[in-house]
Structure 1
Amino acid sequence: MRPIQARISIGAMAHNLRVARSHAGTARVFAVVKANAYGHGLSRARRALAAADGFAVLTLEEAANLRLMGVDQPILLLEGMFGADEIATCADLDLWPVLHHPAHLDWLQQQPPARPLQVFLKFDSGMHRLGFPLADHAAIVARTRSLSAVAGITLMTHFAQADETVGVDWQLHPFLRELSAYGLPWSSANSAALLRYPQTLGAWARPGLMLYGASPFADVSAEQLGLRPAMTLQSEIISVQTLQAGEGVGYGQLFRADRPMRVGVVACGYADGYPRHALTGTPALVDGRLSRTLGRVSMDMLCVDLGECPEAGVGSPVVLWGEGLPVDTVAAAAGTSSYELLCALAARVPVEETD
């Protein structure tokens, strides 16, 4: 059997939820489990994060699966409804859709469900992705309140730079200034805001990345935040090559040795979810020692430097990210984000669940 596997820790996710709760104060917590729980598996996340006050997903299919798994907490649809035909299902499954476009209000007016829905009314405070224009709040709130299809409203926005030094005030202050008079509950905090800006908490926080043990900040590690990695991607060396000075390795010969050296070939490639664009120098743990990748990542293999691992050979374990090697560190070296690495885990990689 090919030696690559991902280990997913239920205990780590549960721990990270406790960290989120410790920052949330009186705010309730939606555990964001979209995209197959950031690659960790929806069923696993449901069990690990069972103590969350609610779950946030992208699609009706994800929400329906959670209900089939026995979830009875609120489920938030982060992108709302994709058609009027989804309204009835929202009512049947007691889902809370995010309303962010006038079409949503039209659909609810034209096809009211059998029972009214709790909704999140999203306003664009500066990210310019989803949301009603903040300047139109009076008309939007008034119309939403008039709909018989709506049982309750929570106001919502999303931050563009909560993980950067510029922070959230440039979005938060206008959002609260314009909407506070309505006396409605509100939600704005993602992982970064939850950890760094307690003024963003509102009634509901929406942590995602931190639940899986990665840091939303470039300057603060997950360990410093008290988080534990939930996913460890690991494999083994399946071949060892010896290069002479001037010889290259892999497609394009992007790496050439400047001295005689040993190279380990690892059973992991971009078809497993490892980034093809990761260049020479991306860290890897070989036999517990910090090493680096060499050359271009192939579909099923990548190469590592064995210069600091003299005893490593065929069968030696290699951690690509996770325990002992933060996914954030690998992502930064590869010029991407931990979100992308975690979500990209391929279906062909066997998964072992741990406590």
Structure 2
Amino acid sequence: MSWGSVRGHDRVVDELRRAARSGRFPHALLFVGPEGVGKRTFALRLAQALLCEERPEAELEPCGSCPGCAQAEAQTHPDLLTAGRPEDKQELPIKVIRDLCDDFALKPARGGRKVAIVDDVDSMNEEAANAFLKTLEEPPPGAVLVLLGTSAERQLETVVSRCQVVRFDPLPVEVLAEALLERGVATEPSEATRLATLADGSFGRAVGLAAPDLGRYRRDLIDGLASEGGIDPAEQVKRLDAFAKQAGKESAAQRRRVRLMLWELARLFRGVLWQTAGLEPPSPDPDDRRAIARLAERLEPEDVFILAERAMDADFHVQRNLYMPLVLESLFHDLAKVVNRPGRP
């Protein structure tokens, strides 16, 4: 499968292809950018290109049919290693890093190159990051290490300095909308465009937002925050917890649902900031714009900054597997203190 299957990141493909043709392909890459834009899919396609047994490496174009390409696509290639934070952990454990480095140091089984992909490096603590340094400084000949995160600023400087930082942009609305239609997430172009706009360039977020029950809960939550009567924090925690459990018994699925709603809260408050600045809120939903206008009439800009910051703090804690009911209780308690106050005169 060629790079044509990886959409919206042609600039990154061109940059890496130029590096391959120059004979100076980086031994360590740090992919950074928003969640859900395809960094891991891109890394797997890159691994396939590097492990392809038919085409010259300088082309950086997988043939898609040789044994190396087939095994890389199935993630069964002996020279393709993957690692990430276990779902039940708050951080990427040092044992995962040490085991990866030990395997990475072994000679390739099929050719002259090994590729390792490490997800969730934002959650890597200092001890685990330091365990990487020797491998980053002196990688095995021909080896390529790809780290996946959201921001270079969230990594240790000692790690960043040993990597080529590759920045990924959000997917363009038209590219994301087309992908949603092709994969059956949306059936109508107008719905695909609406989801793509709401998702801020993230395919994963667009898929989550497409769920009908999420749309209904989202509407109730936003309208409740914008209402004159305000919100009942305990009731909101109960409702969001019940909504999350509709995703199934797996805690990872429940956390993904909660994080989607926290991102929607952050989007709402961002729209309020635009409104208070006299700008048109960046929302395609007329109901959202009405809620934004009501909140902008009642809240000071400083209040809105606080609300947005609390939503993103809660998202960080949920991502790190902290006890979710406690995170939500704290969040809605703080939101209620602000939105339940009498409005501006």
Q: What's the TM-score once normalised by structure 1's chain length?
A: 0.34
- Whichever structure has more helix as a proportion of its residues is 2
- Whichever structure has more strand as a proportion of its residues is 1
Q: What's the TM-score once normalised by structure 2's chain length?
A: 0.35
Q: Which has the higher contact order (CA 8 A, sep 6+)?
A: 1
